[in-house]
Amino acid sequence: MSTQAKVGVFVLGSFAVLAFTVIYLLHAQFGGGAVPYRTYLRYAGGLQAGASVLYGGINAGNVTAVRPWAEDPTQIEILLEVKQGTPLNEKSIAKLGLVSIMNSAALSITTGSNDARRLPPGSKIPSQESISLDEIAGKLATVADSANALITQAQGELNDITGNVRHLLANLDTISGPPTQQKVRSILDNIDQLIAEERPKIDRLTDQLEKVSRHADDTIQNVNGTVTNLRDPLQKDLAELQAAIKHADGLLQSMQTLVRSNDYKISDTVDNLREATDNLNQFTDSLKQRPWSLIRIKQPEDRRVPK
């Protein structure tokens, strides 16, 4: 065998080993260790078989098929396989995503919740619809129409505002014109003349106010002196009055003590006075009925009727 043949055999053998290694690695990554799942969307957004499956942003598998669902043609059935041990759970959500701006569409799955139950192989992953480019374009068109209407309205309002500003400037020109300036100058001249004529009166009034202020100061000083002079006698009188009140308070307390100690005597005296009053009333009634009893002891005999 020639040297060229040996080199050719070696190169072919190297390529065969390399191909076998690549196939083995791909099979190990996406073959026997892959777990199948499925999900459903109303808009696939260009998703194709072989697209990446991202779990929390990490490449976790591939899409195996994208087709209309036989049971509900309004939905797209997406079959996928993920690596063994990917913790898909009931809170995981499948939706359209992108690996990067330059790459094609991918299927993105959220991590869900650690407390949620893990999904068994072949089960359905909950999905969430993404906004399509057509919907975005429609909303942009609506916004553009609204913006055009708003711009048109703003232009109309700006025209009105411009007209009002021009009218205002014209009024200002009219107000600040020569006739108005002459009127203002005349008013200022009248004010100057009025001030010049009334200045002597103002000076006299100022002098009188100064005199009144001085007199008020003297009066206040006199009042302060009077109050100072009367303060000591008033304090002395107040002290004497306070002493008299204390003495009267002591007398009242003594009277209360005396009355309490002679309470029973006062009651007897009142009873005696009451009995004496009753006796005096009876004696008065007796005198009214028999006034002769004051000079006679016996009652005179009744007169006989003449025959």
**pLDDT tens for each residue of 141-156:** 777 777 777 887 877 7
**Any idea which residue has 């975005």 for tokens?**
136
Quick check: helix, strand or coil at residue 18?
helix
What integer pLDDT is reported at residue 4 of this predicted model? 64
| Predicted local distance difference test score (pLDDT) of residue 34 | 87
Amino acid at 219: T
In order, the DSSP letters of 80-128 are: EEEETT---BTT--EEEEESSSSS-EEEEE----TTSPBPPTTPBPPB-
Which residues lie closer than 8 Å to 42 by C-beta, 6 or more apart? 74, 75, 76, 129
DSSP 235-294: HHHHHHHHHHHHHHHHHHHHHHHHHHHTHHHHHHHHHHHHHHHHHHHHHHHHHHH-GGGG
With a CB cutoff of 8 Å and minimum separation 6, the contacts of 186 are none
Quick check: 91 pLDDT over 60?
yes
Q: What is the pLDDT of residue 6?
A: 65
CA pair distance 23, 28, nearest whole angstrom? 8
pLDDT at 37 over 90: yes
pLDDT at residue 100 above 60?
A: no
- Average pLDDT over the chain reads 79
As to burial, measured by CB atoms within 10 angstroms (0-12 exposed, 13-18 middle, 19+ buried), residue 125 is buried
Q: Average pLDDT for residues 1-28, to the nearest whole number?
A: 66
CA 160 remoteness from chain centre: 40
The percent of residues above 90 in pLDDT, for the chain, comes to 21
Q: What is the pLDDT of residue 1?
A: 59
User: Is residue 8's pLDDT more than 70?
Assistant: no
In the predicted model, is pLDDT for residue 258 greater than 80?
no
Top pLDDT among 234 and 120 is at: 120
Give dist(CA 89, CA 11) in Å, integer.
48
Closest CA to 132 of 221, 47, 194, 55: 47
50 has a pLDDT exceeding 60:
yes
- pLDDT tens per residue across span 185-217: 888 888 888 888 888 888 888 888 888 888 878
Each residue's pLDDT tens digit, 72-86: 989 999 999 999 889
